[in-house]
Amino acid sequence: MKRLGILTSGGDAPGMNAAVRAAVRTATVNNVEMVGYLDGFSGFVSGESIELDDRAVGNIIQRGGTIIGTSRCPEFLDPNVRRAAVEQMRARGVGGLVVVGGDGSFRGALALQDEFGVPVAGITGTIDNDVYGTDETVGFDTAVNTALLAIDQVRDTSESTGMMFFVEVMGRTSGAIALHTAVAGGAAGVVVPEAHAEIEDLIDQLRGSIERGKRSHIVVVAEGDEAGGAFGVGELVGKELGHPYRVVVLGHIQRGGRPTMRDRLIASEAGAMAVEALLAGKSGFMIGRQLGKSVEVPLKEVVAHQHPPPALELLALAQKLSG
């Protein structure tokens, strides 16, 4: 294998660049060239790509986003599109592919291996932390820290005015960002899609803490909650309590920005391990984190599960510590 391809796919995540850099530089050390497909599977299909050498990936480890672009690419669900993409990949001498993304991207990667025998490796890259088989995904730590920064700032206003704040964080159908942000941000409450019927409990809890004289109340709401995000929950809870409240939707602010040390580190390890394993003849794995170590996890296992189990113990902890 003298030439490998890499692409970043789905929502961009801080640390994707660190993963690309590590993969390219590990390839260089092994005398292997690396091609970067532009805008995820779209570039893989169209053949739009750039040569990535050590200098091309200089000065990117600290940058959010992804220098090779990303996209969601529904046409890749079509097997004929996949076949054409593999033909053009082989015509250019590319012998294997590294995919940085979430579980949807890994399904696409696995199809390439199963249908056409393309050696593939996955590196997690999503702020949602919703990939089975890894304790954390590249981008998650940065997103939580960004949300925390916002909450610390909003708390100043909540404490000064007594207003309640409903802060909406991303995560699609996963409450991972919300749960971690709530505990680390000292939130008064948290609402996530994985736990049902918590609104009544939340109202009781907030009523109690208002009566006990607490002034600042931050409620973290996962965007995927069935009550309708922070606007929905704010309306239900704020009105029921008759308490002044405001809604803050953090949105894509959580996706960008300098990756934390943690995301740079796990992305760097994953980039290096993915390329080394491909060059050792392995295929069909993702580099995940388990019990503090970077490990190879079979992609078949990853895509067979929708989501990792939610860390609902954090919900109980946030409630216990809400004061």
Q: Which tokens belong to 280?
A: 């050792």
Q: Which is nearer to ligand F6P, 130 or 198 (CB)?
A: 130
What minimum distance in Å lies between the beta carbon of 21 and ligand F6P? 22
Helix (DSSP H) and strand (DSSP E) numbers for the chain? 11, 11
Q: Which is nearer to ligand F6P, 128 or 263 (CB)?
A: 128
Closest of 136, 109, 132 to residue 259, by C-alpha? 136
3-state SS assignment for residue 177: helix
Other CB atoms closer than 10 Å to residue 243's CB: what's the count? 15
What minimum distance in Å lies between the beta carbon of 72 and ligand F6P? 7
Closest of 108, 17, 15 to residue 56, by C-alpha? 17
Q: Which is nearer to ligand F6P, 147 or 272 (CB)?
A: 147
CB 95 within 8 A of CB 28: no
Q: Which pairing describes strands 3-8 and 33-37: parallel, antiparallel, or unpaired?
A: parallel
What minimum distance in Å lies between the beta carbon of 228 and ligand F6P? 14
Q: Which is nearer to ligand F6P, 128 or 194 (CB)?
A: 128
Q: Which is nearer to ligand F6P, 119 or 185 (CB)?
A: 185
What minimum distance in Å lies between the beta carbon of 26 and ligand F6P? 26
> First CA to last CA across the chain, in angstroms?
59
**Site for ligand F6P, rule CB under 6 A:** 11, 126-128, 170-172, 223, 255
Cα 7 vs. chain centroid, distance in angstroms?
A: 16
Q: Is 152 a catalytic residue?
A: no
Cα 66 vs. chain centroid, distance in angstroms?
A: 13
Backbone phi, psi, residue 255, to 5°: -85, -25
What minimum distance in Å lies between the beta carbon of 225 and ligand F6P? 12
Q: Which is nearer to ligand F6P, 96 or 133 (CB)?
A: 133
Please name the residue that has the structure tokens 């809870």: 237
Backbone phi, psi, residue 317, to 5°: -65, -45
Which of 39, 103, 128, 130 is the catalytic position?
A: 128
CB 237 within 8 A of CB 190: no
3-state SS assignment for residue 193: coil
Write the secondary structure of 252-309 as one string of H (helix), E (strand) and C (coil).
Answer: HHHCCCCCCHHHHHHHHHHHHHHHHHHHCCCCCEEEEEECCEEEEEEHHHHHCCCCCC
What minimum distance in Å lies between the beta carbon of 172 and ligand F6P? 4
Q: Which is nearer to ligand F6P, 11 or 119 (CB)?
A: 11
What minimum distance in Å lies between the beta carbon of 65 and ligand F6P? 12
**Catalytic residues, which ones?**
128
